[in-house]
Chains A and B, each alone.
Chain A
Amino acid sequence: MRFSAFSLLRNAFTGHEEWPPFWRFPEPKPSYDVIVIGGGGHGLATAYYLAKEHGIRNVAVLERGWLGGGNTGRNTTIVRSNYLWDESAAIYEHALQLFETLSEELNLNVMLSQRGVLNLAHTPGDVREAVRRVHANRLNGIDAEWLDAKQVKDFCPIVNISPDVRYPVLGATLQRRAGVARHDAVAWGYARAADALGVDIIQGCEVTGFDIAGGRVRGVQTSKGTIGAGRVGIVAAGHNSVLAAMAGVRLPLQSHPLQALVSEPVKPVHNCVVMSNAVHVYVSQSDKGELVMGAGIDGYNSYAQRGSFHVIEHQMAACLELFPIFSRLRMMRSWGGIVDVCPDASPIIGALPVQDLYINGGWGTGGFKATPGSGHVFAWTLAKGEAHPLAKPFALERFTTGALIDEHGAAAVAH
């Protein structure tokens, strides 16, 4: 099976005993060329590519808590690029390709494990949509396969394909290059690399307002004082609406709790990632042996990083339907994140109506996989003051023109 032996994360990342500090703990300078708000994976990646690819090193990442402590450190780490529409396929595939070389790029093992992601189909309608996506993916240069139930069983022996269950498995799409990566390592890797290039990552620094004059953003107010900025990028996931509101901008985003959980560790038993939109399940097994599982989204708005328990119960039932073998496994820990859900299940990347103010958000329930690509195109956008070609279709504008990129089919439970 494709598992690395379990060892302490530290060793797994580095294989070393001694490292210099991963990052500095700088105090903010009076001003920066670019300020990135939000020290999650996307914000840190943005800062890294600003410094590395655009030579803009006078950059600060402002993080209200600890870096990587938002959704980046809370997600179920599924990485894939098999989205339906051309625009999405392009940006997620860009991200996946960056992921494939990220460990070398950052000199830190981000534990990308391309163990394959199955998206199960349970109804003829699911099958039709799955085939549609497989064909679209392949024509877009993305690996994708359609497996029938028997092939699903061969690929993932523990999944129950009995025709006698409530929603039998009729088949699945498979992206072999998809898989999981270590979320913390991604955040820490980008942070360390950005820090080394001179980016100031300022933790415990909450943005509380913007200095806007003449329709232009000049800086931000923070819990550590006012900091000047040439350009500002908001990359605050669940808090994007709150920050945009500080600048007087309303976004088509709603913040909802999304929960996840892990089981007690067990021996390798599940060697791929299985997702099912119809019964709302996605499961993988971590290197530590825990089964990592995502639950559904709670229906109400919340900033509380916790959801309701019935969501988890429902999740469990759906999980056991597919994996009766897990019945006596135990849930060890559950938690929640705040996801910024966009009406078309696609991100918003680009300029806001205030000059020099930009957003990279709306990644909702599925943005971890996009981290490198999102940071890469957003850095380009911030550096040049104009949308990266891959980012262009994701402009806020689309809600006015109607050119939505509806990924509900590919994103539904969305990870």
Chain B
Amino acid sequence: MLLIRCPWCGPRDETEFRCGGEAHVARPPDPQALDDAAWAEYVFIRSNPKGWFRERWVHAAGCRRWFNAERHTVTHEIRRTYSKE
């Protein structure tokens, strides 16, 4: 059970959160302008590194706000959480 520091509520148990996958993947501003491959990349493909990973979390059973975390996918250490890059 990870201990996650919500930028607004402080450290809370993992069970209060939901992980939203890779962070900093913006929705393309004009999807129609993309070819099928580029669109597929946005919809289906996310980085999956072994090591440090910037990912999104939402404090679902708390303030319900989304934020980012930099977490190590082997040690599970969370180096920082942040709300704005």
- The answer to whether A binds B is yes
Name A's B-contacting residues (CB within 8 A).
Answer: 239, 241-242, 245, 250-255, 299-304, 308-310, 343, 399-402
* Interface 1/0 per residue, B50-85 and A, CB below 8 Å: 100101000000000000000101111000000000
* Complexed CA–CA distance, A400 and B34 (Å): 12
Residues of chain A with a CB closer than 8 A to B21's CB: 254, 301
B48 with A310: CB separation less than 8 A: no
A242 with B19: CB separation less than 8 A: no
B37 at the interface (CB under 8 A from A): yes
Q: How many B residues, CB 8 Å from partner?
A: 26
A252 with B1: CB separation less than 8 A: no
B15 with A310: CB separation less than 8 A: yes
B30 at the interface (CB under 8 A from A): no
For the complex of A and B, the 9 pairs showing the least CB-CB separation, nearest first, are A241-B48, A252-B44, A300-B19, A299-B19, A400-B40, A303-B50, A399-B40, A399-B44, A308-B1
Instruction: Report the minimum CB–CB distance from B48 to chain A (whole Å).
Output: 4
A308 with B2: CB separation less than 8 A: yes
Residues of chain A with a CB closer than 8 A to B46's CB: 252, 254
Cβ contacts A to B, 5 pairs, < 8 Å: A241-B49, A245-B48, A250-B47, A299-B19, A401-B36
Interface of chain A, helix or strand or loop or mixed?
Answer: loop
B18 at the interface (CB under 8 A from A): yes
A242 with B74: CB separation less than 8 A: no
Max count, chain B CB within 10 A of own CB: residue among A299, A300, A304, A308: A300
Which listed residue, A253, A309, A343, touches B48 by the CB 8 Å rule? A253
* Complexed CA–CA distance, A374 and B81 (Å): 41
A343 with B53: CB separation less than 8 A: no
* Interface 1/0 per residue, B27-39 and A, CB below 8 Å: 0000000001100
Q: A252-B44, A302-B73 are in contact. List 8 more A-B contacts (CB 8 A).
A: A241-B47, A299-B19, A300-B2, A300-B19, A301-B21, A303-B73, A304-B73, A304-B74
B73 with A255: CB separation less than 8 A: yes
